[in-house]
Amino acid sequence: MSLTDTRRALLAYLRERIAADGLPPSQQEIAAHFGFRQNRSAGYHLQALQAEGLIELLPGRARGIRLVHEAGLDGEFDTSGFDDSDRADAAANDDSRLSLPILGRVAAGAPIGAAAEAESHVLIDRLLFSPRPDYLLRVKGDSMREDGILDGDLVAVHRTRDAANGQTVVARIGEEITIKRLKITADGIELLPRNPDYAPIVIAADADFAIEGIYCGLVRRA
């Protein structure tokens, strides 16, 4: 796949904004960021990215942009025929690629345990993620579906203890791991689902709680 510089930059911008704000930018914000004279120019480039299978445009939504990372695209490669040394060598010989371990599962629903050891590795295009991810977790559940994070997706996680209000985070509650949107108020911390069927998780003041990382994109295999 070959993208123009503008469309590659736009894809990186979408990932950066979603990672930082927890939601995609509007077409007006995209046009302002790239200096397009009309909002429809942003729409033109978004439609081109959708045609390439890199994003999905959700009709009827003001910020209806969902990042999609389909199997066989630049950012994901079929690794079934590679062992770990092959993956490491491939990543080492190509600065544009990262070999990320799948460390286990993360709940988009009720929290579930996450495995400590890598299940396997996936090669991705590092330019498609911002900030740079450190590992992948497999999603189980549908509590984040309105943010385009679906059951079975692999979410890319940038390892950090710091996160801003409104960011989508991977958090630990005791020995359990979950992915939710972070809400910080004067009264405390809540982890918000993006599905009305689920209730927020209120973090008690004495809870064993920590931010493990921030969400920076996903990999979806066809």
Write out the catalytic residue numbers: 143, 180
DSSP codes joined into one string, 149-194? --TTPEEEEEE-S---TT-EEEEEETTEEEEEEEEEETTEEEEE-S
Amino acid at 118: A
SS3 sequence of 85-138: HHHHHHHHCCCCEEEEEEEEEEECCCCECCCCCCCEEEEEEHHHCCCCCCEEEE
Chain position carrying tokens 């890199």: 54
CA dihedral for 148, 151, 157, 161, sign (positive or negative): positive
Beta bridge partners of 99: 123
| 181 contacts 194 by C-beta, under 8 angstroms | yes
Contacts (Cβ under 8 Å, ≥6 apart) of 2: none
Task: Quickly count: other Cβ atoms within 10 Å of residue 134's Cβ.
Answer: 16
* Cis amide linkage into residue 111, ω under 30° from 0: no
